[in-house]
Structure formats: C-alpha cells, structure tokens
Amino acid sequence: MTTGQIVLAATPIGDVEDASPRLRRLLATADVVAAEDTRRLRGLAQRLDVQIGGRVVSHHEHNEAARAQELLDVVRGGGTVLVVSDAGMPTVSDPGFTLVRAAVEAGLPVTSAPGPSAVLTALALSGLPTDRFCFEGFLPRKAGDRRRALTALVAEPRTMIFFEAPHRVAETLDAMAEVLGDQREAAVCRELTKTYEEVVRGPLRDLADWAEAAGPRGEICVVVAPAPARGAAQVGDLVAEVLARADAGERLKEAVTEVAEAGGVSKRELYTAALLAKKGPSSAT
C-alpha cells in the first residue's frame, strides 16, 4: 500500500491574496484537513472560493496529542493530511509540533507548503539586522518570570522576535527597556498585511511610551536589536549585569560564567567583584 503524507501549510496572516495556489489545491484535494479552528478554516475556504474536498477535523493545543494517532493512521493508509493553523505556519506558536514528532518517530513522510509568516515579515520590515535572528514567541505573563526571561537575553547577539498580546504590549516594552536598555533599537509590527498595518521603530523606551499612549490593537510582533558588540570589557562594567541576573533568580555562578564569557573577562575576577558589590560598600577593603 502506498504511504501518504502530512503537509504543513501556511495560511494568510492577513491579506487573503497571499494564499498560494498550492494551498488552494491542497484544500480541495487532501483526504483530511486538520484545522486549529474549523470555523475559521471554512471562512478562509469561502474567501478563496475553494471547496474543501476531504474530511475536516479540529486540531488544536487541547486535542493535538489525542488526535495524532488518528491522523497518522490516515497517512499509513495512503492519505494526505493537510495541517493548517489560523494564520501563518503550523508549529510556530501554533499546533503541529506534536504531530510532526509523532510522524518522525513513526517514519512517516512530512512536508511543507510554505507561505506567509508573521515572524519573517516582521523581521524584514523592522529595519534591524536580519543575518542572524531568533524567535522567542510569547514572554511569560508574570512580571518576575518575564524579567528573568529578558535578563537571559541581555547579551543575545541575534535580532530577537517576540509575539505579544495588545493589552500587554506596553508593559512588555517597559520591561524590555528596563532590562535590555532604554536605547536598544526595536520595532513594533502590528496587523501585518492587513488594512491597518503599522510598523513603529525606535528605542525601546520611546516605544514603551508610545504603546502606553496609543494602546495599539491587533496582532503584534516586537522585534528587538541584538546586544551591542563588546570589546574587551572591564570587570567593573559587567557587575551590574551579573547582579541583575542574580536578582532575577539566576544562580550567581551561572550568571558570572555567561557574562564573563560574553565580555571576555576573567570569571574569577568578575565573581569576586560581584560578591563585593552584593555585600555592599561597607564590606570593601
């Protein structure tokens, strides 16, 4: 019996005209369409004037693990399973990863019908370096957890891309400015490819103030410039960063190791300086 395949297909993130001919064909011909939201899928098909040819099943974060074997059985039987999320590429902050892992472990074919991506679109429009980048998804909602996550990114040498909810974006930008630096360049990209698309660029502090005043709405990506390149830093220049990471919950020795390596200084000297600073001026000799 011929083995089928799983196809991860990107759907429009805004403008429906970004749908590829291949996506249209797959919607019409796949044996099963596994959709994050079946109602949104049918709405997309209607806008594309495409008749979905196969069976439609829900495939979201709450049932992905339970649904996986059912979908793999379709592939084993020679069928094509099309996996789509509400917008963009499945598995990128969307369902799909669990199914892909299960298919890989079972030795079943997985391929992709590439297309729109909020991550890459925001990166391209940000005006920030694109040669090296990383996707961080959504930061933690709790202030302490968010600060710890940002502290771990202080020396990140790649451009960073985040997703954020509109009602939290001002708070997140404020935290970024505090931890990563007021003058770190960034861009807030919202409603990409949609009617009210907007990209606001500037230092993090300015963007935090803008977000607080403007109350931006819609789907939002935040792109942040990489950490500035360091020369041969002085030990004293790095103590504040070590203490900030320790205050955020990181073990002092681990913080010293990472900061010393990034700054090109002695771990022993930085550790000693951090201990003295932590004890306060009265302990210095």
**How long is the chain?**
285
Question: Residue ranges per domain, the chain?
Answer: 5-116, 119-224, 235-283
pLDDT grade for 128, boundaries at 50, 70 and 90: very high
List the single range of 112-121, 202-211, 248-257 with lowest mean pLDDT: 248-257
* 249 or 124: which leads in pLDDT: 124
Nearest Cα residue to 145 out of 123, 168, 161: 168
Supply the CATH classification number for the domain 119-224.
3.30.950.10
Is the backbone of residue 91 left (phi > 0), alpha (psi -120 to 50) or beta?
A: left
Q: Taking the CA atoms of the chain, what radius of gyration do you get in angstroms?
A: 23
pLDDT(49) > 50: yes
Concatenated DSSP letters for 42-101? HHHHHHHT----SEEEE--TTTHHHHHHHHHHHHHTT-EEEEE-SSB-TTSSSTTHHHHH
Is the CB of residue 220 less than 8 Å from the CB of residue 189? yes
45-54 contacts, C-beta under 8 A, 24 or more apart: 47/16, 48/16, 48/19, 48/24, 50/24, 52/27, 52/28, 53/27, 53/28, 53/29, 54/29, 54/30, 54/80, 54/82
Whole-structure pTM value: 0.80
pLDDT grade for 59, boundaries at 50, 70 and 90: very high
Q: Kindly report, residue by residue over 76-99, the tens digit of the pLDDT.
A: 999 999 999 999 999 998 999 999
Nearest Cα residue to 151 out of 254, 75, 48: 254
Superfamily of domain 5-116: Tetrapyrrole methylase, N-terminal domain (3.40.1010.10)
pLDDT grade for 24, boundaries at 50, 70 and 90: very high
pLDDT grade for 284, boundaries at 50, 70 and 90: very low
pLDDT(268) > 80: yes
Token duo for residue 29: 């011909």
Q: Kindly report, residue by residue over 234-245, the tens digit of the pLDDT.
A: 777 788 888 888
List the single range of 128-142, 171-185, 258-272 with lowest mean pLDDT: 258-272
Given this model, what pLDDT does residue 283 score? 37
